[in-house]
Amino acid sequence: MEVVEIEGETLTPEEYNSTQGWVVAHERRRKAKCKANAELATNAGEASKETPRKLKDFLHRRPVPKEPQLPEDDYKVVIRPGGGLDLTRQSVALIRDGVLRAAKIEPDVAGEDTLRINMRQNTIIMSTPSLANAKNYSNIKEIQVNGKSYATAAYITAPENTSKGVIHGI
């Protein structure tokens, strides 16, 4: 049996001429991931004894299912509220009413419009097939929720499959 030595490590010919290099790397990564998950599970068990209820809930929480995509051909208008409006503490119906009132759009005209709230970014996304409605939504400067006015910034997003950038050398 031939033995090859490289920087102090002894390798057999099977290891030296192995064509399974990436397979071994994937197996090692998978084993490391399993080990990390096992450690996380044991840490979660220890956390349940020592940590407050909120952290336990966070460790055992299921991921929120992803919402369906908005229609690709619709105009999307992003509305960023300011002035301390926390969208997580308001009902969707109150927010929709405030947006429709601020845009001066009747509910029956806004029948095909979709409102989506991004809780992480504290933004409202209005998706509409109507250009007139999109322009009205983008002109919103403030909305009223629960009788209190909040300043907003609104804009129409770029269409799908487009990107912004600078083209040099034209």
Whether residue 81 is found in the same domain as residue 152: yes
Domain total in the chain = 2
Distance CA 35, CA 57 (A): 23
User: Is residue 70 assigned to a domain?
Assistant: no
The answer to whether the beta carbons of residues 125 and 115 sit under 8 Å apart is yes
Contacts of 126 (CB under 8 A, 6+ apart): 76, 77, 79, 99, 113, 114, 115, 133, 134, 137
Comparing 32 with 126, the larger pLDDT belongs to 126
Name residue 4's amino acid: V
Closest CA to 136 of 169, 163, 159, 113: 113
The lowest-confidence range among 39-48, 97-106, 119-128, 141-150 is 39-48
Q: Which pLDDT score is estimated for 23?
A: 53
63 pLDDT more than 90: no
Whether residue 83 is found in the same domain as residue 56: no
Q: Which range in 5-14, 23-32, 144-153 is most confidently predicted, on average pLDDT?
A: 144-153
Whether residue 84 is found in the same domain as residue 149: yes
18 pLDDT more than 60: no
Whether residue 49 is found in the same domain as residue 80: no
In this structure, what CATH number is given to the domain that contains residue 150?
Answer: 3.30.70.330
Whether residue 30 is found in the same domain as residue 90: no
Query: What is the extent of the structural domain holding 25?
Result: 13-60
User: Is residue 8 assigned to a domain?
Assistant: no
Whether residue 97 is found in the same domain as residue 55: no
User: Is residue 108 assigned to a domain?
Assistant: yes
User: Is residue 166 assigned to a domain?
Assistant: no
Whether residue 54 is found in the same domain as residue 22: yes
pLDDT digits over 108-157, tens only? 999 899 999 998 899 999 999 999 999 999 999 999 999 999 999 999 98
Whether residue 50 is found in the same domain as residue 97: no
Quick count: other Cβ atoms within 10 Å of Cβ 27? 11
User: Is residue 46 assigned to a domain?
Assistant: yes
Mean pLDDT, all residues of the chain: 80
Whether residue 140 is found in the same domain as residue 81: yes
33 pLDDT more than 50: yes
Whether residue 83 is found in the same domain as residue 144: yes
